[in-house]
Structure 1
Amino acid sequence: MEEKVQEKQKNEFFEWVKAIAFALLVAFLIKQFLFTPVLVKGASMMPTLEDKDRVIINKIGPKFKSIDRFDIVVIENVLLQKNEEENIIKRIIGLPGDKIEYKDDQLYINGEKFSEPFLDQKKKELKDSGSLTYDFTLEQDLGEITVPEGHYFVLGDNRRVSNDSRNPEIGFIPKEKIMGTTSIICWPFEHIDLNFN
């Protein structure tokens, strides 16, 4: 009788071990291939995203649908000034084939005016009479007339401090460098937003 009890306890223990191992495997696969949290570093996406916000990346979405203009994306292994590679979060402005220009704080894509309502708050916060986004064309900053095929042009919402595609060292972002899109802030509690984009 005692042997049966011990055998039953042993079986229960192994069932628990298998269940926990399976749960850990599922969690690892979800984080690796579907959704993963990322820490926002710096002020380049303010006020949309603040330093130390945590966002959830949708890694699977861009594999099944196109990346759209104004999506917020996480880009992996961008070489920054410190000669260190790190992931950055920016907003898609230019799609492959687009001609991008800013004039008098106004975005023009292929000669057509585009509004950027996500910049309204930042523009109101300016303490001087200057523009949030300085005048430029792709040709001036990057030597190209249009965004190359398979690449994207990205900017931070806090245009005056953002290190983004305007910097030739970063330049156009290849599609394969885009880890995924994000529209969910999951931390801190007071910033939680399930669709900030």
Structure 2
Amino acid sequence: MQLFEIILFSVICVCAVVMLYYRFINPEPAQQDPEPVALDYARSFFPVLLLVFLLRGFVAEPFRIPSGSMLSNLEVGDFILVNKFSYGVRLPILHKKVLDMNEPDRGDIVVFRYPPQPSLNYIKRLIGVPGDVIRYDERRKQLYVNGKKVEKTATGTYLPYGESEESLTFDQTIARTDGTKVKFPILNANGRYVRRTSISGTWVVPEGHYFVMGDNRDNSADSRSPAFTFVPDENIVGKAFFIWMHYGFGGDGFEPSRIGTNITAVEVEAAN
């Protein structure tokens, strides 16, 4: 996605240079009929490309879900929208925050630039904010935040597309920093086949960083894995909130029932 932004910005700059050239340096050809082809294309594409760049950079950006780490809330092939200004306004390409707004909170689904390879975008559930102590017991499949058990309630089973074994489904409830509680669906493996991407451990989230986990708890490379632990604030891209289309290339194809699905966590208890 970052490469696309750079290419888009480069094309916008080329269009601007062409228009300025024929406006101030060599205006005579612009008075002819027909006008130069380069100027015609630049005038046509510049406003459209600029609008796309501004919308993607400051308002909302589309992403496609490539893996099952967020099942069952997000399926492979979901196309989602990410709110780019939920956590403040950042400059496109530079990713420099110029205006603070809300802070990422527990229960949010966040898109972020993968710390070991920032050109890749990852999507996970935010579990820990700066200062939190996170503990995960892989054997019991139990999460703890600041010494308190994060409750989960069994809801049934789920069979991911293309899989042969069902997973156990739960609604997990987590407390946000303002005291409200939200719930969201998670999966735990049920059977012999488990991709051992999660490990037991205790982590203290440093200032300016976040701890993230996949909703598909036993099949997610996230902050529990050695590849990366914490997500720096400057790597946060935005908050995922909406599925606008689903198409599984080489899989389940077009699925209209997914369109319009709200994927934000549901508030279950207000602050006291």
- 4+ runs deviating over 6 angstroms: 132-135
Q: 1:113 aligns with which of 144, 149, 162?
A: 149
Q: 1:136 aligns with which of 200, 225, 237?
A: 200
2:220 aligned with 1:186: no
Q: 1:156 aligns with which of 182, 189, 214?
A: 214
Report the secondary structure of 2:87's partner residue.
helix
CA distance in 2, matches of 1:134, 1:177: 22
CA distance in 1, matches of 2:68, 2:80: 15
Q: CA deviation at 1:34?
A: 1.7
Higher strand share: 2
CA shift in 2, pair 1:163/1:135, >3 Å: closer
Q: Is the 8 A contact 2:198 2:224 kept in 1?
A: no
Report the secondary structure of 1:62's partner residue.
coil
CA shift in 2, pair 1:62/1:53, >3 Å: same
2:80 aligned with 1:55: yes
Structure 1 equivalent of residue 232 of structure 2: 174
Count of residues in correspondence between the two structures: 174
Q: CA deviation at 1:113?
A: 2.1
Report the secondary structure of 2:224's partner residue.
coil
CA distance in 1, matches of 2:150, 2:217: 16
Amino acid at match of 1:67: P
Structure 2 equivalent of residue 74 of structure 1: 111
Q: CA deviation at 1:160?
A: 1.2
Higher helix share: 1
User: Could you give the per-residue CA deviations for residues 32-60 of structure 1, whole angstroms, max 9, x where no partner exists?
Assistant: 22211011111111111111211111111
Give the structure-1-normalised TM-score: 0.75
Q: CA deviation at 1:119?
A: 3.6
Greater relative CO (CA pairs within 8 A, separation 6+): 1
CA distance in 2, matches of 1:136, 1:20: 53
User: Could you give the per-residue CA deviations for residues 60-108 of structure 1, whole angstroms, max 9, x where no partner exists?
Assistant: 111110111010011114437xxx9521110101111001112432321
Amino acid at match of 2:244: C
Gaps spanning 5+ residues in structure 2: where? 1-32, 89-100, 152-171, 173-182, 247-255, 265-272
Gaps spanning 5+ residues in structure 1: where? 1-8, 139-143
Structure 1 equivalent of residue 120 of structure 2: 86
Amino acid at match of 1:37: P
CA distance in 1, matches of 2:201, 2:129: 15
CA distance in 1, matches of 2:258, 2:234: 30
Q: Is the 8 A contact 2:68 2:75 kept in 1?
A: yes
CA distance in 1, matches of 2:199, 2:120: 28
CA distance in 2, matches of 1:40, 1:119: 17
User: Could you give the per-residue CA deviations for residues 109-134 of structure 1, whole angstroms, max 9, x where no partner exists?
Assistant: 111222314345x24x7246x9x996
RMSD between superposed Cα atoms in Å: 3.1
CA distance in 2, matches of 1:79, 1:33: 25
Amino acid at match of 1:58: N
Amino acid at match of 1:166: R
